[in-house]
Amino acid sequence: MRLFLMILGMLLTTVILLGVAGFLVFAERRVLAFLQNRLGPNRLGPLGVGQALADALKLMSKENFVPDFADPVLYRAAPVLVAFSVLASFAVVPLDQHFSWAGNWNIGLLFILAMSSLNAYGVFMGGWASGNKFSLLGAVRAVAQLVSYELPLGLALLGVVLLSGSLSLNGIVAAQSLPFIVLQPLGFVIFMIAGVAETHRLPFDLPEAESELVAGFNTEYGGMRFGYFFLGEYLGMTLIAVLTALLYLGGWHGPWLPGWIWLLIKTGAVIFVFFWLRATLPRPRYDQLMGLGWKVLLPLALFNIMATALAAALWRLA
Amino acid sequence: MMILLILLLLLIILMSGAALLVVNDPMHGAVNLGISLLALSILFLLLGAPFVAALEVMLYVGAILVLFLFAIMLLRSPLKVREEARWRRGFWWPAVLVVLLTVVLILLFGQRPDLQVTIQEIGPASVGRALFGPYLWLTEAVALLLFAIIAAVLAIHRRDAHDT
Amino acid sequence: MTLELTLVIAALLFVVGVALILLRRNLIFLLLGIELLFNAAMVIALAGGARWHSATGQVLVVFMMALSGAALALTLALLLRVKHELGGDSVDDLRLLREEVDE
C-alpha cells in the first residue's frame, strides 16, 4: 500500500513538473512578446494559456523517426537521459520544511550536481548519435560549456555550504535567518551566470545557436524526442530558479504568507529574470564564453570561498 | 530486498562489462563503462557512503568519462569504425587465465563468515573531518600532484619548432 | 550477505578490467579497462570501510578518484600525441616506438 502511494505520488510530481514546463514555454512567449512590444499567443483559452497544451499535442502527434545514419540505441536513449536527469534532481528540492521527497538527504546539493553532469552526458550522446556534423559541433560545445561552468557553479555553492554547514537543502534553508544573498553577493552573481550557462539558455545558448549551427545537438531530433530535450531545458531553468530561491533568497522564509507561496513567488521572479536576459542580451562568441568561465568566474569563485572561510573563522574568534 | 537489489547491480555490471569486451565502437565502450559506474554509485549508497556515491557520478561520469569522450572524438571521425581482428593468435591463453582468475576470486570472496555486520551510514561531514584532519597533508599532496599533472599535460601537447 | 556480494562484484569488475587489458588491442579500451581496475579497488576500500565502520575507506576512495583522474588525463594526452605522431590508436601501432637494433 505504502509503495503504491509512493509510486502514485512520484507520478503526480512528474505530471505537475511537466505541466510547469509546458506553462513556462507559454509564459516565455508571452513575456518575450511583452518585452518586445507585441502580443504573443493569445487565442486559445484565457490569455492564451491553452497554447501550451496545443504545442504539447502537436509534438506528441508528430512522427517519431530515427535517421538511418544515426546510432539507433544512443539516439533513442539520449533525450530520455536528459529529461530523466532533470526530473530526478527535483527529488531533493523541498517546497516547505515538511513537504519534499528527500529534502533532508545529507548529500542533496551533491546529488543535484551529479544529475547535472548526467545531463551533460545526455546532451553529448544526443549530438554524437545523430551522426551529423552540426549536431556533433553543438554537442562538443555543450559539453565543453557544461564542464567549464559546472566548476564555478560548484565553487559558488561551496560558499553557501560553508555558511550553513549542511549539504541538505532543508538544512541550508533552515540556516538562513538572513538570506544568503546579503552574505554572499559575489557567490549569488556567479551562481546566476553559471546557472544560465548550465541550462544553455540565451545569452549562453551557443550549443544550439541557430544562426551558425542550425539547431546544434538537437538538429536531427523531431517529435516527442525533441520534446524531451525541450522539457529538459525548461525544467533545468526551473531547477536553477528554485535553487537560487532556496540557497540565496531565503527559501520559504517570509512574512504573512505560507512558506510554499513565498518559494513560488521567489522562483517566479528568478524565472522572469531569465526571460528578461533572453530578451535583452546578445550571444557572445564561443572563445569569449570560455574566457568568461575560466578566467573570470573561476578565480572570482575561488576568491569568494577564501573570503567566506576567512570571515567565518574571524566570526568564530570574535 | 537489499540482496535482490545487489544481485541486480551485479547483473548490470556483469552485462555492461561483457558488452565492453565485445563492442567495436569506442563510444559504445564509454557508454557501457558509464552504465557500470552508475550501478557502482548505487552500490556505494548501499554500502553507507553517500558522499562517495555522489562523487562517483560527479567525478567519474561527469569528468573522467567526458575526458574519454573528447579523446574519442579527437581520435576519429564519427560513426566510422575500424573492425578489430579478434580471434587471432595470442587470444586464447589470456582468455583462459581470465576465466581462472574469475573462479579464484569468487571462491576467495564468496564465503567469509566475518563479514556479517550491519552497515552504518557515514555521512559527508565525518569524511570531510577525516580528509582535513588526520589526512590533511595527504590531501595537500594530491592537490600538488594535480597541479603537476596540468603542467605535464601542457608539456606533452607543446608543439616544438622541429615538430611540424 | 551484502558485503560478500560486494566483494564478488569487485572481483568481477577486476576480472573484466584485466580481460579488457589482455584481450583488446584498441588503446581506448585499454584505458577503460584501467578505469575498471581502479573501480574494483574502490569497491574493496568501501567494503572495508563499511566492515569496520570507519570513514577511512571513503577517504581512500576520494584519493583514488583524484589519482585515477590525474593518471587518465596524462594518459589521454599521451594517446592523442601517439595518434598524432604514429597515426594509429591500437597497441600494435606502438611497436613503431621500439628502438631499431642493428643486428
Q: Which of A113, A140, A167 sits opposite B58 (nearest CB)?
A: A113
Identify which of A221, A104, A198 has the alpha carbon closest to the alpha carbon of residue A149. Answer: A198
Give me the domain span that covers residue A22: 1-61
**Spans of all domains in chain B:** 1-110, 122-158
What CATH class has B1-110? Answer: mainly alpha
User: Are residues A28 and A111 both part of a single domain?
Assistant: no
Q: Quote the CA–CA distance of A106 and B121 in Å, as a whole number.
A: 11
Quote the CA–CA distance of A6 and A135 in Å, as a whole number: 39
Tens-digit pLDDT profile for residues B3-51: 888 889 889 988 888 888 888 788 888 889 989 999 999 998 888 888 8
Of A24, A44, A61, the position where a domain reaches its end is A61
Residue at A197: amino acid letter: A
Q: Domain range holding C36?
A: 3-102
Question: Rounded mean pLDDT of chain B?
Answer: 81
Which of A27, A61, A95 delimits the end of a domain? A61
pLDDT for A302? 92
Contact B73 A110 (CB under 8 A): no
Query: Is B138 part of the contact surface with chain C (CB cutoff 8 Å)?
Result: yes
10-residue averages of pLDDT along chain A (318 residues): 87 88 86 85 78 82 78 84 89 83 82 87 83 80 84 89 86 84 87 87 74 71 80 89 88 80 89 88 84 89 91 84
- How many C-beta neighbours within 10 Å does residue C9 have? 27
* 3-state secondary structure labels for all residues of chain C: CHHHHHHHHHHHHHHHHHHHHHHCCEHHHHHHHHHHHHHHHHHHHHHHHHHCCCCHHHHHHHHHHHHHHHHHHHHHHHHHHHHHHHCCCEHHHHHHHCCCCCC
Over its C-alpha atoms, chain A yields an Rg (Å, rounded) of: 20
Position B38, amino acid? L
CB contact under 8 A, B66 and A105: no
Number of domains in chain C: 1
Residue A21 to residue A49: CA distance in whole angstroms: 13
Q: Domain check: are A46 and A147 in the same one?
A: no
When comparing pLDDT for C24 and A216, which is higher?
A: C24
- Chain C interface disruption, residue of B12, B122, B157, most C CBs within 10 A: B122
Chain A CB within 8 Å of residue B78 CB: yes
C-alpha closest to that of A18 among A224, A209, A198: A224
Based on the fold, state whether residues A146 and A292 are members of the same structural domain. yes
Phi, psi dihedrals of residue A42, rounded to the nearest 5°: -140, 20
Residue among B91, B105, B111, B144 with most chain C CBs within 10 A, to mutate: B105
Q: Are C72 and B64 a contacting pair, CB within 8 Å?
A: yes
Highest mean pLDDT among A211-215, B128-132, B137-141: B137-141
* Closest CA–CA distance from residue A255 to any residue of chain B (Å): 33
The pLDDT confidence band at residue B78, using thresholds 50, 70 and 90, is: very low
Per-residue pLDDT at C6? 85
pTM of the model: 0.86
Tell me what ipTM this predicted complex has.
0.84
pLDDT score at B79? 44
Point out the least confidently predicted range of A112-116, B42-46, C33-37, C91-95. C91-95
Shared-domain flag, residues A52 and A140: no
d(CA B55, CA A114): 8
Are the CB atoms for A105 and A92 separated by under 8 Å? yes
Q: Are A54 and A142 in the same domain?
A: no
Question: Which of C12, C47, C78 lies nearest to residue B156, judging by beta carbons?
Answer: C78
A22/A119 same-domain check: no
CB atoms B78 and A113 under 8 Å: no
Say which CATH number the domain at C60 has.
1.10.287.3510
Is the same domain home to A101 and A12? no
| Min distance B65 CA to chain A CA atoms (Å) | 9
One domain for residues A33 and A114: no
Specify the amino acid at residue A138.
G
* % of chain B beyond a pLDDT of 70: 82
Rounded Cα distance between A293 and A229, Å, is 24
> Is A131 in contact with B34 (Cβ distance < 8 A)?
no
- Inspect the interface and report whether the beta carbons of A105 and B50 lie closer than 8 Å: yes
- Give the pLDDT score at B144: 93
Can you say how many angstroms the Cα of residue A6 is from the centroid of all Cα atoms in its chain? Answer: 25
